[in-house]
Amino acid sequence: MKLADEMQKITGQLAIEIKIRPEQVQAAVSLLDGGATVPFIARYRKEVTGGLDDIQLRELEYRLGYLREMEERRATILKSIADQGKLTPDLQWAIDQAATKQDLEDLYLPFKPKRRTKGMMAKEAGIEPLADALWANPSLDPQVEAQAYLKPADAIEGADFSSAGAVLDGVRDILSERWAEDASLIQALREWLWKEGLFTSHLASGKDENQAEVAKFRDYFDYSEPIGRVPSHRALAVFRGRALEFLDAKLTLPVPEALNATAEPLTPTAAAQAANALAEGRIALHLNWSHSARPSDDLIRKTILWTCVICYSQHLRVPAWCWDSTQAFGQASKSLWWMQQASSSKHRPSIPTSLAVTGMVLCIL
């Protein structure tokens, strides 16, 4: 995309988001690119921007930077995939339509250069046809089918496929890595996690709860709340405690409601197992698979569990706001300022008020 077309696209999107005219966007962008600050433009250049106020300009400045970075990343991703000879018309359309940086990264995931994985080693050993066959027809006996794919122990560098068990582990690695790079699955799991996941915090190991500075965070030594209902002030308090290394914070999988209603509280291990089962069920539903006691069903179930592990350890570990602690805290604070200002202004920022929570979430699974 040419630079002029790219800027026209960004201008149009900013105008829609902030609910102002494209000419106002162009004027503000010109001033910002020229080195003018938001307070200066808001106070002394109202006649140029058509009366944009401080709140609108701050939102515009933030979104302008985000959209420019996203377009730059979009171009890089398209070039990388094209250089690999794997850019199809459908994939290009999907990348062109991606609305967030995270959407772009999800689409790029299968094509991103990566270190040699176990799944890659299994493919090098020629096991992929077996993986496809067992997935397409679970009635096949995996132990019998694996015999045709045995390799000498030293045939593949870094791997040993000399036994049926090792070959079937290769099947698991191929399918789980493939499924864990499915952009639609990752997005569905991410949305579920944000909708039903629990935001938790605990006293950090080795910290004295009676120390004056640590004791200020006593309310969050054993804290858990659905992420969608966390008020901004509690989110910021937990985040501040984590930044000071007084608290450990996590975004965890939800536990089935039926288990939450039991008389006896679940142990942490039991709760984690129940939550994992819920996640596995969602992956199985996405794949349109169910266990029917066929010969390959146990292997597929194990593969889905492995897919869940990969998704949460690698692809969902860093949420959409891929920021470090300082950046996230700064953005969350800025979001609170926006909300406070908007409460007494006729202008309402289009960035959702939950940004104080979403911006706060760290790399915390």
Residue 272: predicted pLDDT:
59
Residues 22 and 89 in one domain: yes
β-partners of residue 202 are 222, 248
Residues 77 and 153 in one domain: no
Residue 137 has pLDDT above 50, yes or no: yes
Average pLDDT over residues 354-363: 36
β-partners of residue 243 are none
Average pLDDT, the chain: 82
Residue 97 has pLDDT above 60, yes or no: yes
Residues 53 and 132 in one domain: no
Residue 358 has pLDDT above 50, yes or no: no
Q: State the amino acid at position 27 in one-letter form.
A: A
Residues 150 and 94 in one domain: no
Task: Give the max Cα distance, the chain.
Answer: 79
In which domain, by residue range, is 167 found? 118-181
Residues 154 and 127 in one domain: yes
Residues 7 and 95 in one domain: yes
Residues 34 and 73 in one domain: yes
Domains of the chain: total: 2
**CA–CA distance, 212 with 330 (Å, rounded to integer):** 25
The CATH number given to whatever domain includes residue 12 is 1.10.10.650
Residue 292: predicted pLDDT:
95
Greater confidence (325 vs 29) lies with: 29
Residue 264: predicted pLDDT:
57
Residues 95 and 130 in one domain: no
164-190: burial string, b at 16+ Cβ within 10 Å, e else: bebbbbbbbbbbbbbbbbbbebbeebb
What is the separation of C-alpha 25 from the centre of its chain, rounded to a whole number of angstroms? 30
Residue 131 in any domain: the answer is yes
Residue 340 in any domain: the answer is no
**CA–CA distance, 240 with 230 (Å, rounded to integer):** 15
Residue 318 has pLDDT above 60, yes or no: no
Residues 21 and 78 in one domain: yes
Residues 44 and 124 in one domain: no
Residue 104 in any domain: the answer is no
pTM above 0.85, yes or no: no
**Among 148-152, 250-254, 267-271, which stretch is predicted with the lowest mean pLDDT?**
267-271
CB atoms within 10 A of CB 356: 25
Question: Strand 222-226 and strand 198-203: pairing?
Answer: antiparallel
For the segment 196-220, what is each residue's pLDDT rounded down to a tens digit?
A: 888 889 999 999 999 999 999 999 9
Residue 338: predicted pLDDT:
39
Residue 176: predicted pLDDT:
96
Residue 350 has pLDDT above 90, yes or no: no
Residue 323 in any domain: the answer is no
Phi, psi torsion values for 279, nearest 5 degrees: -65, -40
3-state secondary structure of 182: coil
Residues 14 and 93 in one domain: yes
Please give the radius of gyration of the chain, using alpha carbons only, rounded to the nearest integer.
25
Counting every residue written for the chain, the total comes to 365
Average pLDDT over residues 220-234: 88
Residue 74: predicted pLDDT:
95
Residues 92 and 7 in one domain: yes
Q: Tokens for 55?
A: 């709140």
DSSP readout, 108-165? HGGGS--PPPHHHHHHHTT-HHHHHHHHH-TTS-HHHHHGGG---TTSBTTB---SHH
Average pLDDT over residues 238-245: 91
CB atoms within 10 A of CB 209: 11
**CA–CA distance, 20 with 12 (Å, rounded to integer):** 10
Residue 165 in any domain: the answer is yes
**Among 7-21, 222-236, 261-275, which stretch is predicted with the lowest mean pLDDT?**
261-275
Residue 218 in any domain: the answer is no
Greater confidence (62 vs 321) lies with: 62
**Among 154, 181, 208, residue at a domain's last position:** 181
β-partners of residue 252 are 198
Residue 16 in any domain: the answer is yes
**Among 99, 134, 150, residue at a domain's last position:** 99
For the segment 30-65, what is each residue's pLDDT rounded down to a tens digit?
A: 999 999 999 999 999 999 999 999 999 999 999 999
Residue 223 in any domain: the answer is no
